[in-house]
Amino acid sequence: MHITPEVRKAAREIKTPFLIMDMDYVRNNYFDIVSHVRNVQVFYAVKANSHPRIIETLRDLGSNFDVASRGEIEKLLALGISPERMSFGNTIKKVEDIAYAYSVGIDYYAVDSEMEVEKIAAHAPGSKVYGRIATSGGDCDWPLSRKFGTDVGHVISIMEYADQLGLDAYGVSFHVGSQNYNVNSWDDAIRDASEVFKTLRAKNINLRMLNLGGGMPVKHVREIKSVKSYGDIINRALDKYMSFVPDLELFIEPGRSMVGNSAILVSQVILRSKKGSEDWVYIDAGVFHGLTETIEGFRYEVLTEGKVDDTKISFHLAGPTCDSVDTIYHEIDLPKNIGYGDILYFINAGAYTTEYATNFNGIDAPRVLFVEDFIDAEMPIERDFME
Amino acid sequence: MHITPEVRKAAREIKTPFLIMDMDYVRNNYFDIVSHVRNVQVFYAVKANSHPRIIETLRDLGSNFDVASRGEIEKLLALGISPERMSFGNTIKKVEDIAYAYSVGIDYYAVDSEMEVEKIAAHAPGSKVYGRIATSGGDCDWPLSRKFGTDVGHVISIMEYADQLGLDAYGVSFHVGSQNYNVNSWDDAIRDASEVFKTLRAKNINLRMLNLGGGMPVKHVREIKSVKSYGDIINRALDKYMSFVPDLELFIEPGRSMVGNSAILVSQVILRSKKGSEDWVYIDAGVFHGLTETIEGFRYEVLTEGKVDDTKISFHLAGPTCDSVDTIYHEIDLPKNIGYGDILYFINAGAYTTEYATNFNGIDAPRVLFVEDFIDAEMPIERDFME
């Protein structure tokens, strides 16, 4: 997302920190995915950003939803999403939450272990289950395949077990890892998935669905390929490996790639200090207030606005809480004369920011604002500047 | 805190995860500190656990409070704490929050930089300020002296600057780091502080307060010394280094040492699986729901209840969310036959647990319960077991 005049105006006049979103990006991302991945059904990964405006926008576009908990199911039901449009994609579910999901009418459940199959057979009998394959993780910022998924042979035996317990052995899912830069990861994963389909067909268990997971990257500091490039690779891999399955149903679960580029996190410098030879800048967002992913090394593109100075020097950048873990980056180039009240824009911060926010230190999570609300509108002047 | 019959009963019958607290530990901790550190005034670090019952308990014992934000100040005012009993101990404050604190009558402010002094001089004129020294951090689990505090020479010049700007140059603070096992850290820090007092007295700036910060450890997997041992070292160091200051006021800011041992986090196994050679156990608390400190390597004592088996094997232990970061320990010994519904008790989890909790994945933060509410009371049966 670009810094538009509306964003600049909000940054000047509204109390920071806040996330400012533009739903046009979400709409474009949705169309980009359904245009380039053939016959795909989108299940938006609600955990990336569960703001009602995003859910409503995607609801109206016809999206489905990947949910992680009873809390998310309740939220979606309240927003008028029918249960047929939800998939319970968390492989770690409480039995009472499975029973709840079944009671409201959810039919899709992810599994990667025998126990999860038993839980679903007992509390959501006859439901459609799909087994999650672990991928190599390769070139991604956030691998997800140690805690989640299992090997091809294990997925096969889990799906056979599901069939024995009276469940509908429905499909296979994988996740190549969040922010995966290697387009070939999808080819590898689809080949692995086809093995599961093939082996089980020989045993007369006919899976019908392939779930591509998430993982298409969002632009931060590295260059990324287009959704079309990923779509082309996926379409080719489907032709190559999956054409033996008639009427294959295809799911995809974008989270970051649906909302990541739809927002900017706007924060304000609230202190600058010198400690020995170190220059520190402290802002009003931080690891516990929107920038959680930075503790795992995630790099945002950071732009500044305020005192004009072309010279940049290296700073330590930290959040506002009394906790040393709340240090965002130990090395970031910022304008040499940056000072109180200057603005930092964290670009493409629409995913996994407000969802991870806490109230630690008695400090509220960043608010969420929408660009469309500010066009041609008077803005409340909320900011205080240092004299 | 010990696992009492009431705790066991709650674990069996009430929906997990929850934090169960016993206010008697908090009362004992308060008396332990005021009995062993001579003439000390306690300022409880609210950020460790801001539950109203803890604040009320400490209010009634006569404690003061160390606050980190406007949010904490508002919470305490609503609980009937007068502003004279609060110290604004965060060294990173927004100017509007300083103005707010001043307007309600708070008089104590921490500083470790020139800019912070300027902000306080402008928005809380004439207030009492204390400068924070950085300590070596030494043998502690959670060092706090890179982001916070500065060297002795810098603290001296900051306090001179405060005096020039019309503030009341009031004292010195330090923090030896959270969970500091080395009693001598306090001796070193008090010696450093005495340098600041001495140098400034020679310039006719008479500081009157020494703030010992927090840092006394709570028992987890390492043996710890008694509060009396720490008190003895502190009292001796005060005699040795600070006796030239008449009527020295002494503050201490316990957070973890006030509430850490007053609670147990109770969680339930919701999945067990085998992935290749790895054994995984998943529970309903996790890094985003109470056990945040484990991502920095913090080790809790973990006890289990459920299937009886004396043989233990090594597991990977993870939380309930769709995020690989939500992995608590990659190596923990648990009963070989542990399974669904078995209980894990995280001992002495009263500090920095619920405060860091998020609603990530639509999963609520652990509830907070109190043992005293369950003695002789009927308990609601909320738990569901797997058939």
In this predicted model, what pLDDT tens digit does every residue of B315-336 receive, in sequence order? 999 999 999 999 999 999 999 9
Comparing A3-7, A109-113, A378-382, B128-132, the range with the smallest average pLDDT is: A378-382
Look at A95 and B274 and tell me if their CB atoms are within 8 Å: no
Whole-number pLDDT of residue B382 = 72
Average pLDDT along chain B:
94
Q: Is B140 a residue whose pLDDT tops 80?
A: no
The pLDDT value given to residue A47: 98
- What's the confidence (pLDDT) of residue B381? 65
Would you call B94 and A284 a contact, using CB atoms and an 8 Å cutoff?
yes
For the residues B254-258, what does the mean pLDDT come to? 96
pLDDT tens sequence across A206-251: 999 999 999 888 998 889 999 999 999 999 999 999 999 999 999 9
Judged by average pLDDT, the poorest of A7-16, B288-297, B301-310, B316-325 is B301-310
Which percentage of chain B shows pLDDT scores above 90?
A: 86
- A386 pLDDT above the threshold of 60: no
Residue B386 has a pLDDT of 45
Query: Can you tell me the distance from the alpha carbon of B235 to that of B246, in angstroms, rounded to the nearest whole number?
Result: 15
Residue A358, min C-alpha distance to chain B (Å): 5
Domains in chain B with CATH codes: 5-17+261-373 (2.40.37.10), 24-254 (3.20.20.10)
Q: With a cut of 60, say whether residue B290 has pLDDT above it.
A: yes
Model confidence over A343-371: pLDDT tens digits?
999 999 999 999 999 999 999 999 999 99
**Residue in chain A lying closest to B318 (CA):** A147
B210 pLDDT above the threshold of 80 = yes
pLDDT of B387 higher than 50: no
Instruction: Kindly report each contact of residues B310-314 with a partner whose C-beta sits within 8 Å and lies 24 or more positions away, as own/partner.
Output: B310/B335, B311/B335, B311/B336, B312/B336, B313/B279, B314/B279
Instruction: Give A115-157 pLDDT, tens digit per residue.
Output: 999 999 999 999 999 999 998 766 777 676 789 999 999 999 9
Is A288 in contact with B356 (Cβ distance < 8 A)?
A: yes
Tell which A residues from 113 to 132 touch B, by Cβ distance under 8 Å.
113-116, 119, 122
The catalytic residue positions of A are 322
Residue B218 pLDDT > 60:
yes
Burial A286-321 (b: 16+ CB within 10 A, else e): bbbbbbbbbbeebebebebbbeeeeeeeebbbbbbb
Long-range Cβ contact pairs of B333-336 (< 8 A, separation 24 or more): B334/B281, B334/B302, B334/B304, B335/B304, B335/B306, B335/B307, B335/B308, B335/B309, B335/B310, B335/B311, B336/B309, B336/B311, B336/B312
Mean pLDDT over B270-293 rounds to 96
Is B92 within 8 Å of A387 when comparing Cβ atoms?
no
pLDDT for the residue A213: 95
- The single residue of B115, B202, B308, B322 carrying the catalytic annotation is B322
Q: What are the strands, taking DSSP E only, across chain B?
A: 18-21, 40-45, 64-67, 86-88, 108-111, 128-133, 140-142, 168-174, 178-180, 209-211, 249-252, 263-275, 278-283, 302-305, 312-318, 327-335, 343-347, 367-370
**CA separation for the pair A174, A193 (Å, rounded):** 8
Q: What percentage of chain A exceeds 90 in pLDDT?
A: 86
- Confidence grade of residue A177 (pLDDT, cut at 50, 70, 90): confident
d(CA B385, CA A125): 17
Q: In the prediction, which pLDDT does B137 show? A: 60
Question: How many contacts (CB atoms, under 8 Å) link A and B?
Answer: 217
pLDDT value of residue B181:
87
The whole-number average pLDDT for the span A301-320 is: 91
B116: left (phi over 0), alpha (psi -120 to 50) or beta: alpha
Q: Half-sphere exposure of B126 toward its Cβ, with a 13 Å CA cutoff?
A: 3
Among residues of chain A, what percentage have pLDDT more than 70?
96
State whether ipTM is beyond 0.85.
yes
Question: Which residues in B lie closer than 8 A to residue A91 (C-beta atoms)?
Answer: 271
B-interface mutation test, from A51, A75, A91, A94, most B Cβ less than 10 A away = A94
The Cα-based distances of B105 to A215, B92, B96 in angstroms read 52, 19, 14
User: Under an 8 A CB cutoff, do B72 and A361 touch?
Assistant: yes
- Whether B96 sits inside 8 A of A295 (CB atoms) is no
Q: Report CB contact under 8 Å: A361, B147.
A: no
* B 200-259 → A contacts, CB under 8 A: none
pLDDT of residue B345: 98
* Chain B, nearest residue to A88 by Cα: B322
Of A275, A316, A360, the CB nearest to B150: A275
Confidence band for A183, pLDDT divided at 50, 70 and 90: confident
Residue A387 confidence (pLDDT): 36
Q: Quote the pLDDT of residue A91.
A: 97
Q: CA-to-CA distance for A315 and A329, rounded, in angstroms? A: 8
Residue A384 has pLDDT above 70, yes or no: no
Q: With CA atoms as reference, report the closest residue to B368 among B55, B154, B35, B34.
A: B55
Residue B384 binned pLDDT confidence (cut-offs 50, 70, 90): low
Judged against a pLDDT cut of 80, whether residue A300 lies above it is answered with: yes
| pLDDT tens track for A265-294 | 999 999 999 998 999 999 999 999 999 999
Residue B368, pLDDT above cutoff 60 = yes
Confidence band of A179 (pLDDT split at 50, 70, 90): confident
Chain B's closest residue to A177, CA to CA, is: B324
